[in-house]
Amino acid sequence: MVKGTETTWWHSGTVYQVYPRSFCDSDGDGIGDLGGILEKVEYLHWLGVDAVWLSPVYRSPQKDNGYDISDYREIDPTFGTLSQVDELIAALSQKGMKLIMDLVVNHTSVEHPWFAESRASIDSEKRDWYIWREPRVGTRAGDLGAEPTNWESYFSRPAWTLDEKTGEYYLHLFSPDQPDLNWENPAVRQEVYETMRWWLDRGVGGFRMDVINLISKKYPLGDGPVSVESGRGDGREWYLHGPRLTEFLKEMHSEVFAGRDAGIVRIGETPDVTVQQARDLSESGGRKLDMVFQFEHVSLDRARDNWMRPVPLARHEVYRNLADWQDGLASQGWNSLYWTNHDQPRTVSRFGDDSPEHWAQSAKTLATVLYLMKGTAFVYQGDEIGMVNMPFSSLNDFDDISAVEYSRAALDRGRPAEEVLRDLSRTSRDNARTPMQWTSEVSAGFSAGIPWFPVNPSATWLSVAAQRDDPNSVLSHMREVIAARSKFDALATGAFSDIPAPDSRLVAFDRTSTDQTVRVIANLSSEAVRLPSLNMGGLVEHDSLRVGVVSATVLGAWASTVWISA
């Protein structure tokens, strides 16, 4: 079988994302670890997921919680050992699940030996492994504005940092601790491929590739349009979906994936990707990626020129956007279906209604609507129980580097602290990074010690323990949704078709295969809505996926129902 030309596990599959630091702590140091994940394999199997995507556990100074790697083949002692990863692969595989590793190769940590060598001198053999430039013409190193281009990094600083020793600047699209690798250099690419083969040989089931559409830069680099807010430039024209991206991914395919198991999955995280680019990148048999994480639906409630500033969300636009992606990738390409991950706030607080009255129903309905679309389902830890945003009360409460840097920069520019706190409370990644809520006991059953980050106070009533045996819980519903994905043919590869509704709070769509139809109808609002008459000929309601429907003609707040051909 040629990779990419057949139906494989992920068409109907569900991937569960573990953010190891906050998942389960087995040794009482307050930080989640591999031992903790091993303890939860049974739970993941019970939930019914097909694979676990593990956020980085490699050796790292942890400046960006592991997305700054200093050794790609070692495990950070915070999380455990390499033999525990082997154990995890075996334990998952025994239950029919795969382990997907996070591959962060747009950049390394400044503490990676490659960077140490590269920065040592201008003549270093590895100088060209990173992107070094002299100060801007007519300026001296260290002068204001001497950076080679005017770009702002993703983390609210200039994208260039001066290395005093050699008087040159290095590029970092994220923090100064995360220098960008120079993918133009074939030796860099070969090292990356070698590392990937090494992990595949250990038995991992694929990779989630961090910001993979940033690896190819457009040269020569130049200044981008300046934002009023930061006074710095937007360099995306030079680093998004660069001219050699496709070539690099094809090379990766032939060096790493060709001839291997067709079930090995390549998931690309691709900020700002367009539908057309996504079609091309995830084209079946296209030797690039199997699917992409697009960002449009998670950008609808953010200011255009400031990702950390919330703007009001029109809920119907979210569904509209997802439906557009369904149409866009209908004949070519493949979607990743996600509401949240470790970089996003909590689903129910953001897209649903986390008030006591609507919390459970909105969490369930959001799961039904998204995960019954066409694509691979991604469930982020805690989302299966409807975890909510953290009630932050001060700027000192934030831990994440992007929040800390955003607040520093905003305060420097004179914005009032309350305003910055309001932004971050809504948009901060820390919302998703509080410890997993296993029980209502001290530390939410996450750790026997003091958790590295405070537990969300909702743990008193919101936990796995409180929901596991309740057939009406968010967790039980999520299990039903996951099971339905592989039970019904139409949900694997069946076509998606939107059913236009007269009321923008209502959404309805069909998934259709040759001999089956699945119809989803939902009210994405906190008010009851009159239901238009839909021809239900030959369809029967699927009781276990029905949420809060009160009558045949009115859908209650956040009610949803799924109908399937007999």
Give the catalytic positions in this structure.
Answer: 210, 269
Locus of tokens 């591999």:
34
We find the least distance from the C-beta atom of residue 298 to ligand GLC, in angstroms, to be 12
Locus of tokens 């399937």:
564
The reply to whether 510 sits near ligand GLC by the rule CB under 6 A is no
Q: Which of 210, 283, 423, 510 binds ligand GLC (CB under 6 A)?
A: 210
Q: Which of residues 3-42 bind ligand GLC (CB under 6 A)?
A: none
Binding string, 319-358, against ligand GLC, x = CB under 6 A? -----------------------xx---------------
At 55 the three-state DSSP class reads coil
Q: Is 267 or 459 the residue whose CB approaches ligand GLC more closely?
A: 267
**H-run or E-run covering 555:** strand 554-555
Q: Which of residues 141-200 bind ligand GLC (CB under 6 A)?
A: 174
Binding string, 76-115, against ligand GLC, x = CB under 6 A? ----------------------------x-----------
The reply to whether 423 sits near ligand GLC by the rule CB under 6 A is no
Q: Is 269 or 290 the residue whose CB approaches ligand GLC more closely?
A: 269
For every residue of 186-210, DSSP letters joined together read HHHHHHHHHHHHHHHHTT--EEEET
The reply to whether 384 sits near ligand GLC by the rule CB under 6 A is no
We find the least distance from the C-beta atom of residue 563 to ligand GLC, in angstroms, to be 37
Q: Taking Cα atoms as reference points, which of 546, 431, 455, 447 lies closest to residue 27?
A: 447
Q: Is 390 or 545 the residue whose CB approaches ligand GLC more closely?
A: 390
User: What is the rounded CA–CA span in Å between residue 351 and residue 383?
Assistant: 12
Q: Residue 154 has what DSSP assignment? A: T
Q: Are 364 and 547 in contact (CB under 8 A)?
A: yes
Binders of ligand GLC: how many residues, by CB under 6 A? 9
Rounded (10°) angle between helices 417-427 and 401-412: 150
**H-run or E-run covering 472:** none
We find the least distance from the C-beta atom of residue 413 to ligand GLC, in angstroms, to be 23
Q: Are 235 and 151 in contact (CB under 8 A)?
A: yes
We find the least distance from the C-beta atom of residue 211 to ligand GLC, in angstroms, to be 5
We find the least distance from the C-beta atom of residue 196 to ligand GLC, in angstroms, to be 17
In sequence order, the 6+-apart residues with CB closer than 8 A to the CB of 526 are 353, 355, 357, 358, 362, 557, 558
At 360 the three-state DSSP class reads helix
We find the least distance from the C-beta atom of residue 63 to ligand GLC, in angstroms, to be 10
Please count the residues of the chain.
Answer: 566
Q: Is 172 or 358 the residue whose CB approaches ligand GLC more closely?
A: 172
Q: Which of residues 256-275 bind ligand GLC (CB under 6 A)?
A: 269
We find the least distance from the C-beta atom of residue 16 to ligand GLC, in angstroms, to be 16
| 29 CB-side CA count, 13 A | 12
The residue of the chain with the least Cβ separation from ligand GLC equals: 67
User: What is the rounded CA–CA span in Å between residue 343 and residue 68?
Assistant: 15
Q: Is 104 or 545 the residue whose CB approaches ligand GLC more closely?
A: 104
Q: Are 22 and 31 in contact (CB under 8 A)?
A: no
CA distances for 140 relative to 162, 224, 229, angstroms:
11, 21, 26
The reply to whether 405 sits near ligand GLC by the rule CB under 6 A is no
Residues that bind ligand GLC (CB under 6 A): 64, 67, 104, 174, 210-211, 269, 342-343
